[in-house]
Chain A
Amino acid sequence: MIGTGILKGMAVTARNFVGSYFDKERLITVQYPEERNPLPENYRNFPFLVYDGDDPQAGLRCVACKICEKECPPQCIYIVKSEDKKPDYMGKPQFYPKIFDIDVSVCMSCQICVEVCPFEAIKMDKEFELSRRERFDALLMRKDDLAKSNDYYRRISPTDAAQVDAKLAAAAEAAAKRKAAAPAASKPATPAASPAPTRASS
């Protein structure tokens, strides 16, 4: 009979419409700025630089090795290496980034910088409301904008942060053991340059 298809379609619409009052599963939209869906833990949006301790500049884990700059597919990272060295979180003197810029408008959130980083220095953020009033400068994230504390990282992705902390703690312990063993093995070569207190994170 002509018209049954339309009636059937209308019945489905009516069932969904009425059902949305009784069945939470059918009511799927949220009123965004007021209501928010919780983000999954694996959610990734934009990279940030992790620092240990309280000082964002002194505690940066990044040693300006430029691997992420090289591997970044859209080439959105720009790094200038420092001339001098400063002690890193393990107390070893390391280079640090004099300039570390990421262009938000170019970044495609692929996470490759995080995967290739051997120092656990760059991680993915969950902040997605990145709109800016200006077109150019505000979308270029400088080192100061990118630096975020390890506590923040622990808060946004607890599972990964715990793994990273455990790995770094193990590395620091191994380094301390080596340092303790080194003086016994070769006395004269020891004054290893590690004057700063260890800032092991865990």
Chain B
Amino acid sequence: MSATVETLEAMERPPVSMGSRLEGELLEVSMGPQHPSTHGVFRMNVALEGEVVRKLKPVFGYLHRNHEKIGENVSYLGSMPYTDRLDYFCSMTNNWAYALSVEKLAGIEVPERAEYLRVILAELTRLQNHASLLGFLLNDMGAWGTPLMYAFREREKILDLFESLSGSRMMCDYMRFGGCRVDASREWLAYAKKIVDRFPRFVDELEQLIVGNEVVIARTQNVGNVSPELAVSAGITGPMLRACGVNYDVRKVDGYGFYPRFKFRIPLGEHGDTYDRLMMRVLEMGESVGILKQAFEQIPAGPIINPKVKIRAFRPPVGEAYGRIEAPKGELGFYLISDGGTNPYRYRVRPPSFINLTILEDMCLGHTVADVMVILGSIDIVMGEVDR
């Protein structure tokens, strides 16, 4: 008799483990790491009740390559090409964040032209990152290939600009402590201006497709809602935080670089759902085009690198510094501790997409498996940065 009661209790008990066996009505599925829509090697252990997600446990680390430890074992300059490999879509902003923290650590001044070049390259990076994100997101929603290819067509033009300036499409390794490595010629600036002037055409086309499209609306509105309280307490940054209506942009808050000199607005969402996150990207692209146009007008002539900074045997004074910028995915920061040697004593990255990924379960609960892909796509993760 008592045995029967125990069995009933056991059956009613909610499943606690995330093991591989069936428990009650829940079906545990391991999505990834080789899944086309996980943007790399990312795995989710999902407990499903029918189609509805009841539990979700992200598993990552498949792309872990000891970035921070490597950073502590090579010189300050030697870490610069490694930062390209963090978020390989936005190597320019990674370079900038790292250069900024070393400049803070060593108290290095940056010439005016270099600061303008940095702003131009960071905003170009934002354009191409957001464009390809929208392409990928539409890809995840079932618009296979075509929108992604149009987004990549625009991205390719910007990558061509990066290639002709820095020598590489994605692994730019362009910025140096106290400036930039190569000066942009007048022709380069003129060509970049031409591409930026044409960019709104693409944004408008894309926006027109997204805003009215009933498939996009059905798949994204009221999916993956994040409350502002949750977003703030979880440390979410970037377009994802602003989609919840929290006005926080490091470009405005810190005013690093020459951002205070530019006129731009911060787009804010209202509901914090996937649709708002998507629209944040579209609107930010418009603002970036505005910043770029101002930068092309204002950029002065002059040196691009501080000549006092040594390339070899660069030793910043003892101390610590945290430099952060508004990368396309959120707040990207580098925390460095120097013991006066040629290598950092401690090197720590604050990766935006990793921290934005932490609330994936809260966003996915109660939605279907198909929605998980869309929600994950709207976070904008790059596994190179999540796993480091």
Contacts and interface: CB of A to CB of B under 8 A. Distances in A.
A9 to B, nearest CB: 6
A8 interface: yes
Contacts of A115: 181, 311
Contact of B209 (A8, A28, A112): A8
Contact of A13 (B79, B146, B173): B146
Nearest to A8: B209
Interface in A1-53: 2-6, 8-9, 12-13, 16, 28, 40-44
Contacts of A166: none
A6 B209 CA distance: 9
| Closest 3 pairs (CB-CB, A-B) | A5-B213, A110-B81, A40-B164
Given A73-B81, A112-B77, A115-B311, A124 B167 contact: yes
Contacts of B308: none
A55 interface: no
Interface string B162-183: 0111111001010000000110
Given A109-B171, A116-B311, A116-B312, A8 B165 contact: no
Contacts of B208: 8
Given A43-B163, A116-B311, 18 more contacts: A4-B212, A4-B214, A5-B214, A9-B209, A40-B164, A40-B167, A42-B164, A42-B165, A42-B182, A44-B167, A44-B168, A67-B312, A71-B78, A73-B75, A110-B80, A111-B167, A112-B77, A116-B312
Contact of B75 (A13, A16, A71, A110): A71
B146 A111 contact: no
Interface of B: 74-75, 77-82, 143, 146-147, 150, 153, 156, 160, 163-168, 171, 173, 181-182, 205, 208-209, 212-216, 311-312
Contacts of B82: 73
Nearest to B164: A40
A132 B80 CA distance: 29
B74 A12 contact: no
B143 A9 contact: yes
Contacts of A6: 213, 215
A6 B150 CA distance: 16
A198 to B, nearest CB: 28
B124 to A, nearest CB: 16
A124 B168 CA distance: 12
